[in-house]
Structures are given as C-alpha cells and as structure tokens.
C-alpha cells in the first residue's frame, strides 16, 4: 500500500504519467510523530512526474526517443541540448562540409528575441537545417519552390536561389543560404517571405516554427494544424525533438507519427 514515504515508487509505478493518487496512512502511521500535522487517514495529493524533459501533455515515445508534442507544447530553451551536443549529434548527417555549416551557424550571434539567448538561437538554426535539408545545399522541395539548407521559398522572380552541391559549397554560399532562412530576403525590398528571426521577434518558438513551415498560424492552440496536407503537421514536434537531442536515425516513420501522434503525413 502506498504511504507518504513512497513517492519514488509512485513515480516508477505511473511511468512518468500525470495522476491523481490516493495515499493511505495506517493507524500506526497516523499517530506517529511524522504524521502529527495530518488530520485525516486519507491524503489526496495531485502528483505529477515527468520523465526526462517531457512537455506537460507530450505522450507516446518512440524507440528512438521521439516524443509527440501536441497543442502548444514546446521545450523551454533550458531543456535544449547545448549547441556542441547538437553539433555532435548531427555532424555526420551534415556530410563533409559539416564544419563549414556549423561555423556559419555560429556567426549568428544576436538573438531576435529575449525568450532565447544567442546560443539557443544557434541551436534552433542548427536543428532547422537538420530538418529542412539534412545539411545538403542542393535540396529542392515543394515542387521546385524551396531551395538550400533552410528550404527557402523564393517569391520574387528576380531572385536567384542559392544552392550548391554537397562538398563544393563555398563558405559564402553556405552563409547566404542561412541568412535567407534566418532573416528573409532583403535584396529586393521587404523580406518576403520573412525568415525565422522575423517570426521569433513577436511569437513563441513553437508558433514561429509553424509560421516558417506554412506561412501562417492556422490554430494558435495547436501547432500541428496546417492549412492543407502539403505542409508537415509534425514539423514543430520534429524540431522540438531535435532540440532535445533525438538523432536523425532516431526519427520514427510517417506511419508511426500518424498512429501514435495523430500527425498526418504531408502529400
């Protein structure tokens, strides 16, 4: 029977899930010195335990450590792995120019928001590169509209996308691709579409990432909601997991994300 001294056992028993638990005290315990302040034999305590850096309603966990972040859940900057740890986790997947990519990311020394400091901002950029392109500068997506390390969509016909084949990218090309994704495009007037820094200036990291992925925030109470299935419903959850240190090879299949998290795969 559970009593006041078995909180650790309770945590193990609930496997990290929130619970309302009834703690019973025996008559002997009730009149002991340690229970002098209690006046009832049944104590009702709301105890919430979280495994690791779990978010309040994050549920299912995959074999690679992937967690379903639902609603507006997103880890706090204090929960992010350090930049160096994330660099080690993603270095191999970034390929032979990983050093140049990481060096360029470190050049972004000013955060656009007080919510995260410069190092956490760099960590966010790093995992966005991992999500968007895997570190390959020649990736083209969205029917030919998205280009480069951060899959920037160019809407001005006068602009030329910055792309390069892995292993042949110059440092300037790498930096240009990152700047387009972080700050948007300003060579032809206003930045359109704006970069992640623009969204972070007025929104939470989770909401900003939904803006970046789809260009809009369809539901301010659920970052997985997208205007159509051409967008990635799991995008914000994916970035959250990468920030917590889930390696590229630890990501689950689209079918798992659909069945366990409720995220519909993009068309």
pLDDT per position as a tens digit, 182-215? 998 654 444 557 899 999 999 999 999 999 999 9
What are the angstrom distances between the C-alpha of 128 and each of 13, 16, 182?
36, 29, 10
CB contact at 8 A, 233 and 115 = no
CA angle 53, 16, 75 (to 5 degrees): 20
Mean pLDDT score of the chain: 80
Strands (DSSP E) contained in 25-175 are 42-47, 140-141, 146-147, 152-153
CB-based burial, 117-143: b 16+ in 10 Å, e otherwise: eebbbbbbbbbbbbbbbebbbebeeee
Compute the distance between CA of residue 220 and CA of residue 230 in angstroms, rounded to an integer.
Answer: 19
* pLDDT value for 145: 82
Closest CA to 263 of 130, 103, 133, 254: 254
Q: Token pair of 248, please?
A: 């590229």
- DSSP readout, 53-64? T--TT---B-TT
Condensed to tens digits (0 to 9), the pLDDT of residues 82-141 reads 999 999 999 999 999 999 999 999 999 999 999 999 999 999 999 999 999 999 999 998
Residue with tokens 């009730």: 30
What counts of helices (H) and strands (E) characterise the chain? 10, 5
Mean pLDDT of 68-88: 98
Q: What is the pLDDT of residue 186?
A: 55
Nearest alpha-carbon partner for 134 in 171, 181, 96, 94: 94
């Amino acid at each position: 029977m559970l009593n006041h001294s078995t909180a650790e056992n309770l945590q193990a028993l609930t496997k990290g899930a929130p619970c309302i638990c009834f703690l019973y005290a025996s008559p002997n315990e009730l009149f002991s010195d340690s229970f002098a302040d209690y006046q009832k034999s049944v104590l009702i305590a709301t105890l919430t335990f979280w495994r690791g850096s779990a978010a309040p309603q994050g549920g299912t966990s995959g074999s690679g450590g992937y967690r379903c972040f639902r609603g507006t859940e997103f880890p706090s900057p204090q929960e992010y792995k350090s930049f160096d740890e994330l660099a080690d986790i993603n270095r191999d997947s970034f390929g032979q120019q990983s050093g140049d990519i990481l060096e360029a990311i470190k050049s972004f020394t000013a955060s656009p928001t007080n919510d995260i400091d410069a190092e956490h901002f760099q960590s966010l950029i790093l995992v966005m590169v991992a999500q968007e392109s895997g570190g390959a500068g020649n990736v083209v997506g969205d029917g030919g509209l998205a280009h480069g390390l951060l899959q920037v969509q160019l809407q001005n016909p006068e602009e030329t996308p910055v792309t390069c084949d892995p292993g042949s990218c110059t440092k300037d090309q790498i930096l240009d691709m990152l700047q387009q994704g972080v700050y948007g495009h300003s060579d032809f007037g206003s930045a359109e579409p704006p970069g992640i820094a623009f969204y972070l200036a007025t929104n939470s990291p989770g909401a900003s990432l939904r803006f970046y992925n789809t260009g809009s925030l369809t539901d301010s109470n659920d970052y997985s909601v997208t205007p159509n299935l051409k967008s990635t419903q799991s995008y914000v959850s994916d970035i959250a997991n990468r920030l917590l240190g889930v390696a590229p090879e630890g990501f689950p299949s689209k079918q798992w994300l659909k069945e366990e998290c409720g995220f519909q795969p993009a068309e």
